[in-house]
């Protein structure tokens, strides 16, 4: 590894000039204090490595929450052009395919919830499976799982886990086209059978929040948000099924690269042409995992909705559901002409501007909601896409780690952390003290700084800031 040259290139933007092997430059959206520590984090070198991918267009982008990942940095965005030999790389999606965020808004405020918050958190804790391994709210047979893989969130909605409006407020209406259940291995199916309606572990959570501040009144109103309102944010993905699909296809592509004459600077960037047999197979399996993740969040969201009905007797509406680990075929203007591109977003969120044709009619005037979770005990944000947003209409996805889980566990006492959070007014329901320690706020960047950089770079705009009242952790 060599030192990576960073050249300031405008507000919250650094440029990595093209060097040996790079087909495009690197662009890092960040403030100086948010840049990865080059001594202990190889994310910037990964930005350089991604710039070497065949068919890459524009630049190898990194969001303000960028940190070291598998192949691609987490917070990395890259588009390749299939018609010019562009490739697809599972490392540009990640192992937790379609990991994302769902935000629901309850028709009650913090004052009304206060006396019943403990009852609500205890009920959610009892009903929401979390932690590693099996255990899901919805037990499925293999044939039923095939329905989830092809129909996504629509499958549980049609079976009573939600309402039709939920699908309108989901990315892709809750179903990613092109999924093929027969491209999913038996091992992946086995891992996914018992996990529909579960959080998993790591940084995944269900959090009860209050809208602390609104920055854009019109957008917040259209999205269904107001100051003091109670919300539920859910962060999870495709669980073991998605992890296995990534593992399967990384192996396949690693073996296939020589046949296509592809050389990459890091074997973790294993890739094949988008339009190859292996590329089409991965896209179909990835879409199936995305549909699984959306069904998973749909079931979890419906469980939260039912808990609110029991405890508070109030309706709960879906604000939006968006993924941040995906590769999607999209049309963008590049070098003065429209191109069909495969856009990899790994730890990065799509941020469509107002009037984009893929937005539902009610959100079209204000842009797509962008859901940015913070860390346990800190704020989260609702943003919106903006016209002219860079990096193929992409922005950050969260705070971004600055300490590994092992280091955080060494430095933090999970029991003390829980006591501190409770003293600060945040009820915590965690499955283990170590799990809490691994996700301590000190292990992450400052979410407020990340959002300021994202907005300052012209990638998005702030709509609302949410603060936690109770958190359920894996």
pLDDT tens for residues 11-40?
A: 999 999 999 999 999 999 999 999 998 667
Residue-wise pLDDT tens digits, 114-149 = 999 999 999 999 999 998 876 899 989 999 999 999
Residue 382 has pLDDT above 90, yes or no: yes
Q: Where are the beta strands (DSSP E) in 129-273?
A: 205-214, 229-236, 272-273
DSSP of 423-450, one letter per residue? Answer: HTT-EEEES-HHHHHHT-GGGB--HHHH
Residue-wise pLDDT tens digits, 299-308 = 999 999 999 9
| 290 CB-near residues (< 8 Å, 6+ apart) | 97, 98, 152, 176, 179, 238, 323, 326
SS3 298: helix
Higher pLDDT, 83 or 37: 83
- Tell me, what's the pLDDT at 40? 77
Residue 257 has pLDDT above 50, yes or no: yes
Percent of the chain with pLDDT strictly greater than 70: 99
Residue-wise pLDDT tens digits, 339-355 = 999 999 999 999 999 99
Give, for 138, the enclosing helix (H) or strand (E).
none
Predicted structure pTM score: 0.97
- Tell me, what's the pLDDT at 432? 86
Residue-wise pLDDT tens digits, 187-222 = 999 999 999 999 999 999 999 999 999 999 999 999
d(CA 32, CA 221) in angstroms, rounded, equals: 34
Look over the chain and give the mean of its residue pLDDT values, rounded to a whole number.
96
Residue-wise pLDDT tens digits, 150-161 = 999 999 999 999
Which single residue is written with the structure tokens 């896209």? 283
349: left (phi over 0), alpha (psi -120 to 50) or beta: beta
Residue 431 has pLDDT above 80, yes or no: no
pLDDT band at 248 (very low <50, low <70, confident <90, very high): very high
For residues 29 and 457, the answer to whether their CB atoms sit within 8 Å is yes
- Tell me, what's the pLDDT at 430? 85
Nearest to 171 by CA among 153, 159, 184, 156: 153
Helix 239-256 to helix 186-193 angle, to the nearest 10 degrees?
Answer: 160
Question: C-alpha distances in angstroms, 15 versus 18, 19, 25, 71, 332?
Answer: 9, 12, 7, 20, 22
- Tell me, what's the pLDDT at 1? 43
Residue-wise pLDDT tens digits, 167-183 = 999 999 999 999 999 99
Pull the structure tokens for residue 271.
């890739």
Percent of the chain with pLDDT strictly greater than 90: 93
Residues annotated as catalytic are: 397
| 40 CB-near residues (< 8 Å, 6+ apart) | none
Pull the structure tokens for residue 273.
């042409």
Give, for 469, the enclosing helix (H) or strand (E).
strand 461-473
d(CA 267, CA 269) in angstroms, rounded, equals: 5
Which single residue is written with the structure tokens 């691609």? 72
């Amino acid at each position: 590894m060599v030192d990576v040259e960073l050249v300031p290139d405008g507000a919250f933007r650094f440029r990595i000039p093209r060097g040996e092997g790079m087909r495009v430059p690197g662009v890092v959206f960040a403030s100086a204090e948010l840049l990865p520590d080059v001594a202990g984090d190889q994310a910037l070198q990964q930005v350089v490595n991604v710039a070497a991918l065949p068919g890459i267009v524009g630049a190898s982008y990194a969001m303000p929450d960028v940190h070291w990942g598998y192949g691609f940095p987490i917070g990395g965005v890259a588009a390749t052009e299939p018609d010019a030999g562009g490739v697809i790389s599972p490392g540009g999606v990640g192992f937790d395919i379609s990991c994302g965020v769902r935000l629901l808004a309850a028709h009650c405020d913090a004052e009304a919830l206060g006396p019943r918050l403990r009852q609500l958190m205890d009920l959610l804790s009892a009903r929401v499976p979390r932690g590693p391994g099996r255990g899901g709210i919805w037990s499925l047979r293999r044939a039923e799982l095939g329905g989830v893989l092809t129909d996504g969130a629509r499958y549980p909605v049609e079976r009573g886990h939600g309402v039709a409006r939920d699908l309108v407020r989901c990315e892709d209406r809750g179903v990613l086209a092109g999924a093929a259940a027969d491209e999913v291995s038996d091992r992946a199916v086995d891992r996914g059978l018992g996990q529909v309606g579960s959080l998993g572990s790591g940084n995944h959570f269900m959090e009860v929040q209050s809208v602390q501040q609104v920055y854009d009144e019109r957008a917040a109103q259209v999205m269904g948000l107001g100051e003091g309102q109670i919300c539920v944010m859910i962060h999870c993905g495709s669980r073991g099924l998605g992890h296995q699909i990534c593992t399967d296809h990384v192996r396949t592509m690693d073996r296939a690269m020589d046949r296509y004459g592809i050389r990459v600077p890091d074997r973790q960037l294993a890739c094949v042409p988008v339009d190859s047999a292996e590329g089409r197979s991965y896209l179909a399996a990835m879409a199936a995992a995305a549909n699984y993740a959306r069904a998973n969040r749909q079931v979890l969201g419906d469980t939260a909705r039912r808990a609110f009905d029991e405890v508070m007797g109030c309706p709960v509406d879906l604000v939006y559901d968006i993924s941040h680990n995906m590769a999607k075929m999209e049309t963008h203007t590049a070098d003065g002409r429209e191109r069909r591109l495969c856009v990899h977003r790994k730890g990065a969120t799509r941020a469509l501007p107002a009037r984009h044709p893929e937005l539902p009619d009610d959100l079209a005037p204000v842009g797509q909601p962008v859901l940015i979770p913070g860390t346990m005990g800190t704020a989260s944000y609702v943003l919106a896409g903006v016209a002219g947003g860079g990096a193929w209409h992409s922005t950050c996805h969260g705070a971004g780690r600055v300490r590994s889980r092992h280091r955080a566990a060494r430095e933090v006492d999970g029991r003390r952390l829980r006591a501190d959070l409770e003293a600060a007014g945040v009820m915590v329901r965690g499955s283990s003290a170590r799990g809490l320690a691994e996700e301590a706020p000190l292990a992450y960047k400052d979410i407020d700084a990340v959002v300021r950089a994202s907005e300052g770079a012209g990638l998005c705009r702030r709509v609302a800031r949410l603060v936690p009242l109770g958190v359920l952790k894996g």
